[in-house]
Structures are given as structure tokens and as C-alpha cells.
Amino acid sequence: MRSAKYSGAGAAAEVVSVIDTEIPSPGPGEVLVRVGAAGLNPVDVKIRAAAVDFGPIIYTDLPGWDVAGVVSDVGPGVDEWAEGDRVFALAAFPAAAHTLAEYAVVAAGDLAASPSTWSTAQAGAAPLAALTAWQALETAGVRSGQRVLVLGGAGGVGHLAIQLAAARGAEVVATASPAKHELLRSWGASETVDYRDEAALAAIAPVDAVIITVDDTLPPRGAVAAGTSVVTITGLTDERRAELASWGAGPVERILVSANGGQLAEIAALAESEAVTVHLDSEFGLDELAAAQERVESGRVTGKVVVVVDPRV
């Protein structure tokens, strides 16, 4: 089979290649998936550029975590999946998963049935970002009737956080450049703000929760009241954490997404009811992986970048 490979740390055009390797076999509790599509995320390009582990995130020269496709074979003890099932998953994260290939072995518990309302490309693009958004909202305790501020509402995690928060009955405020405000509203944001407009940012009324998807960024002071939950997916410096604490925010937490087939199934159910969709910024073939990673690194992505490994799946 064909599989993506990194030759070491460096620029995508210099270290990304496609090699031929053996089709893996599923072990106990595992499923072999014929890959249709695999999403790319900022963590993919960061770990490729450095070729080192990032805390619990394991570096591998055979990349990929997101996956959507069709079950090709099942290992011993797997009863919930059968050949031909259409599935998607965040595989093994933060351990290596090797999903940027024509076939990938995935733990049965990481899988969920792909929504019929999504294309294979959308399903492949969704898992890491959708689960990050879901788990961020869970950590913040977001519920119906609350106000939620999503910083970076047009990104991969941000655009899904808007939709998932709205599906919970929350009122969503989201930031992005003005050209993307119509999209934010289509995803369920009731209030949109230009992230560069200091006056507009200062005018945001207090919210119950803040989801930060942008590196080392603080919410506007006026949006934070005593007890406002703040969840970041990128991390905050000690100085920024102290500043938030001085405003009365709490708790302030950073999360690292984890694979969870059950949560993906809940997201898929929302997709079936058309409450959640995946906006595809761009699609690339496996041989175009370097260009796909460069697109992610551009910082101009709206929604998700996906690699279509096999358009027939």
C-alpha cells in the first residue's frame, strides 16, 4: 500500500514523501480500515517540522490521526464492526496511528459510524477538531441558555465549537475577520466580532464560557466575569493565566483531545440531524501532502484541510 512518510524534521516540501509498505493486519480489538480521507491539523505540521514528541503526543515518521473509510477486516474479539461498514475515527491519539495511508489499523473503540449527511472527505476531516471542540465544551460545562465566546471561530476547531455549542442551546459569540462573519452566522453564532477591532471586542458583554482556539490569546476583559470558565486548546503563558485569575475567571484549563468513539457517535447523531457540518477549506491527494501541510501552515484556513487518499471509498 501507499503511505505518507517523513524523512526527518524540516519543511514539508523537503521531508514529506509517499512510500510503498505492507498492508497491516488488525490485532485483537482492532479494525482494518480502507482509508478514503484523512484530515490535517496544526499538530500534524508542528510535529513534522520538529520531529520530536510534544509532551504526550508521540512523533512518528508515518503520520496521521484522522481517518474515514470502509472497514476492510476485523481482528479477534471485534463484534461491533463488519466488513463494509463506513466509519470515521480519531485513531489512537496521542499515540501514533499512521492513518495517512491506503489502509490503517484502528482500535474498535475509537470508531464511530460515519454520518450519512457528510461526504467521506468531511468525515475524514472532522474527528480531531470535532472531538477537541466537544471536549472543550464539556470541560467548560456549557449548557443551554449560557453565553459562549469562541475565539477563532472560522478555524477547524472553532467552526465546530460554534455549531456544537449552538446545538446545546447556548448563545454563541465568535471572532473572525469580517469576510467570514456570514459563515459564522450560518454555523450558529448569534454575535460576530472582528478580532482586530478593539472597540468591538471591548463591547462584548460577559459570557459564561470562553473557548480559546488561537495561540496564547486572551479574551477581552469585558467578556470575563467572576466564574467565567476559560478553556484553551493551545496553552497560555503563566502571565496570561495570572491575568485571567485577577479578572475572576475560573476555572482556567488547557485540554488535550483524546480519542473517543462514543463522543464521535454523539457528534455523528447531530450531523444526521443537520445540526453540525464540516466546512472544507481545501482537498488534496496523498501525493499532494506537502502542499496540504503548507496550506495548514499558511494560517489562512477556513474550516478544515483534508487529504483524500482514495476518492472511490
- Determine, yes or no, domain membership for 165: yes
Residue 160 has pLDDT above 90, yes or no: yes
Model confidence pLDDT, tens digit, residues 79-110: 999 999 999 999 999 999 999 999 999 999 99
CB 248 within 8 A of CB 225: yes
Listed residue (130, 131, 127) closest to 106, CA to CA: 127
Query: What single-letter amino acid sits at 3?
Result: S
Assess whether 160 and 194 both reside in one domain.
yes
Residue 273 lies in a domain: no
Query: Residue 148's domain spans which residues?
Result: 130-254
**Based on the domain organization, do 138 and 237 belong to the same domain?**
yes
pLDDT per position as a tens digit, 137-147 = 999 999 999 99
CA 54 vs. chain centroid, Å, equals 17
User: What is the rounded distance in angstroms from the CA atom of residue 81 to the CA atom of residue 302?
Assistant: 33
Tell me if 271 is assigned to some domain.
no
Pair 185, 232 in one domain: yes
Q: Give domain status of residue 60, yes or no.
A: yes
Count the neighbouring beta carbons within 10 Å of the beta carbon of residue 236: 20
Q: Same domain, yes or no, for 109 and 200? A: no
| pLDDT tens-digit series, residues 213-231 | 998 899 999 999 999 999 9
pLDDT tens digit string along 225-283? 999 999 999 988 889 999 999 999 989 999 999 999 999 999 999 999 999 999 999 99
With respect to residue 163, please indicate whether it lies within any of the assigned structural domains.
yes
Report how many domains make up the chain.
Answer: 2
The answer on 146 and 111 residing in a single domain is no
Supply the pLDDT for residue 250: 87
Compute the average pLDDT of residues 174-189: 98
DSSP strand pairing (147-151 vs 252-254): unpaired
- Residue 202 has what pLDDT? 97
Residue 262 is assigned to a structural domain of this protein: no
Question: Are the C-beta atoms of 136 and 233 separated by less than 8 Å?
Answer: yes
144 and 119, same domain (yes or no): no
Does a structural domain hold residue 259? no
The domain that holds 136 is classified in CATH as 3.40.50.720
Q: Indicate if 110 and 144 belong to the same structural domain.
A: no
- Domain match, 201 and 300 both: no
Q: What is the CATH number of the domain that holds 7?
A: 3.90.180.10
- Shared domain for 233 and 297, answered yes or no, is no
Quick one: DSSP state of residue 123?
H
